[in-house]
Amino acid sequence: MYPPPGPGMYYSYPPPMLVNCSSCRTPLQLPAGARSIRCAICQAVTHIADPRSAPPSSQPPAPSAHTPPPPPPSSSPSPYNHALPGAPPHPHGRKRAVICGISYKYSRHELKGCINDAKCMRYLLINKFKFPEDSILMLTEEETDPYRLPTKQNMRMALYWLVQGCQPGDSLLFHYSGHGSRQRNYNGDEVDGYDETLCPLDFETQGMIVDDEINVTIVRPLPRGVKLHAIIDACHSGTVLDLPFLCRMNRSGHYVWEDHRPASGLWKGTSGGEAISFSGCDDDQTSADTSALSKITSTGAMTYCFIQAIERGHGATYGSILTAMRNAIRSVGGGAGDLGGGAVTSLISMLLTGGSVGLGGGLGQEPQLTACEPFDVYAKPFSL
């Protein structure tokens, strides 16, 4: 349907330089021109040698008597290293997920349903899709570990962890429930002229995470045989992964793939892997934090409808999921909020305690589907 990108279109600008922390070996993104960087996890400072300061050597320098050699990667104390050393990979590939739910508690931006969204998504992944518990990294304000709080730096490190060392057969998932926004784009790589953004817990002081960075971090590194799904429940989230193609579907279920590749030729796809994203709304829409669906308390409308689609047996294909989600959101106020039973429903009933005023007459958002390549949404099976 669309010509493949040319050989020179994959990186029109150099990818960010990553260096390993000299202490815990966590990958760190080095700002341009920086000669040192402090690790947010272990606080160690890694110094970057100037390549002009010494001639190249084929032999590594002998360890100084005053400077102990860095520990091997296998002894890494990083909180993001969940895999046991030497553990054999799962025969059908490994599963790994980052789940981020931000309520912005005690601020004027407070949301009520995002922590519930995160807990329900974790339960769904473990019980429905057999993700190992220790392969799911949760970032919420309820976490006691300071490295699990959904700050900008912690979210960045979690996204690096998600794709680090991925192998053919791996299945990766990123779920986000929180505020989203957009800002004017000045490099011409956005069809609508705006970059979409996610808002970390500390976005008012540290800034937002822009779609360009998300794309570079978790989309473009994906090698052949690796599958990434993103489920983004936020305002202005339609193309927040900056994937090249958007499935434009009308109310009758007919669709076309819109080409969102930048005119500059910059490639926003993967390095051979597969990346597919469900998002809560179009780039110019907002997503609801509402009790109109659960009838009990606030949830993100998109997360709730995604779980509902899976529970009601609409999870066979990407098209069936997207259609079910859109129908559920359109029917708010018409009695369609009941999940209809099931294991996930039981968990939601346990989690949803307390309430807020519900909305009526439908929600003004339409979930979107974007991908690195076009495909038949009603024929391609959905699997995590």
pLDDT by residue (tens digit) across 262-287?
A: 888 888 899 999 999 998 764 454 44
Q: How would residue 46 be classed by pLDDT, with cut points 50, 70 and 90?
A: confident
Q: How would residue 168 be classed by pLDDT, with cut points 50, 70 and 90?
A: very high
CA 322 to chain centroid = 18
| Main-chain dihedrals φ then ψ at residue 269, nearest 5 degrees | -90, -160
Determine contact, residues 145/79, Cβ cutoff 8 Å.
yes
Residue 278 CB neighbour total at 10 angstroms:
25
How high is the pLDDT of residue 21? 76
Considering the entire predicted model, what is its pTM?
Answer: 0.70
Q: Which residue has the tokens 């190249």?
A: 56
What does the alpha-carbon distance between residue 287 and residue 302 come to, in Å, rounded to a whole number? 8
Q: Is 145 exposed, middle or buried (0-12, 13-18, 19+ CB in 10 A)?
A: exposed
| 90 given a catalytic annotation | no
Kind of pairing between the strands at 180-184 and 27-30:
unpaired
Question: Which residues, including other chains, have CB under 8 Å from residue 20's CB and lie 6 or more apart?
Answer: 26, 27, 28, 46, 73
pLDDT over threshold 60, residue 137: yes
Residue 154 CB neighbour total at 10 angstroms:
25
| HSE, side-chain direction, 13 A CA sphere, residue 92 | 7
Question: Which residues, including other chains, have CB under 8 Å from residue 334's CB and lie 6 or more apart?
Answer: none
Q: Which of 15-19, 73-77, 111-115, 238-242 has the lowest mean pLDDT?
A: 73-77
How high is the pLDDT of residue 347? 41
How high is the pLDDT of residue 32? 63
Token reading at 200: 């970390």
Q: Which of 32-36, 199-203, 235-239, 341-345 has the lowest mean pLDDT?
A: 341-345
What does the alpha-carbon distance between residue 241 and residue 335 come to, in Å, rounded to a whole number? 33
Q: How would residue 134 be classed by pLDDT, with cut points 50, 70 and 90?
A: very high
How high is the pLDDT of residue 365? 66
Which of 36-45, 58-67, 204-213 is modeled with the greatest confidence? 204-213
What does the alpha-carbon distance between residue 329 and residue 348 come to, in Å, rounded to a whole number? 18
- Which residue among the candidates 24, 166, 179, 260 is catalytic per the annotation? 179
Q: Which of 5-9, 90-94, 144-148, 217-221 has the lowest mean pLDDT?
A: 5-9
Q: How would residue 247 be classed by pLDDT, with cut points 50, 70 and 90?
A: very high
% the chain with pLDDT above 70 = 62
- Which residue among the candidates 199, 235, 281, 372 is catalytic per the annotation? 235
Determine contact, residues 180/236, Cβ cutoff 8 Å.
yes
pLDDT over threshold 70, residue 326: yes
To the nearest whole number, what is the mean pLDDT of the chain? Answer: 75
How high is the pLDDT of residue 354? 30
For residues 194 and 374, the model is more confident at 374
Kind of pairing between the strands at 255-259 and 209-210:
unpaired
Quickly list H helices, 75-175.
Answer: 114-127, 152-163
How high is the pLDDT of residue 27? 65
What does the alpha-carbon distance between residue 90 and residue 140 come to, in Å, rounded to a whole number? 28
Helix (H, G, I), strand (E, B) or coil at 230: strand
Q: How would residue 11 be classed by pLDDT, with cut points 50, 70 and 90?
A: very low
Q: Which residue has the tokens 């051979």?
A: 272
In Å, what is the CA distance from 24 to each residue of 19, 78, 149, 156?
12, 6, 19, 16
For residues 2 and 49, the model is more confident at 49
In Å, what is the CA distance from 314 to each residue of 51, 239, 308, 332, 382?
56, 23, 8, 18, 10
Determine contact, residues 258/244, Cβ cutoff 8 Å.
no
In Å, what is the CA distance from 62 to each residue of 15, 68, 175, 248, 336?
31, 10, 45, 59, 69
| 235 given a catalytic annotation | yes
Q: Which of 25-39, 351-365, 366-380 has the lowest mean pLDDT?
A: 351-365
How many distinct helices (H) and strands (E) make up the chain? 7, 17
> Mean pLDDT over residues 290-318, rounded?
74
Q: How would residue 331 be classed by pLDDT, with cut points 50, 70 and 90?
A: confident
Rounded to 5°, angle at Cα 315 from 114 and 281: 45
What does the alpha-carbon distance between residue 283 and residue 178 come to, in Å, rounded to a whole number? 15
Helix axes 114-127, 343-351, angle to 10 degrees: 150
> Mean pLDDT over residues 107-131, rounded?
92
Q: Which of 75-79, 158-162, 233-237, 281-285 has the lowest mean pLDDT?
A: 75-79
How high is the pLDDT of residue 47? 81
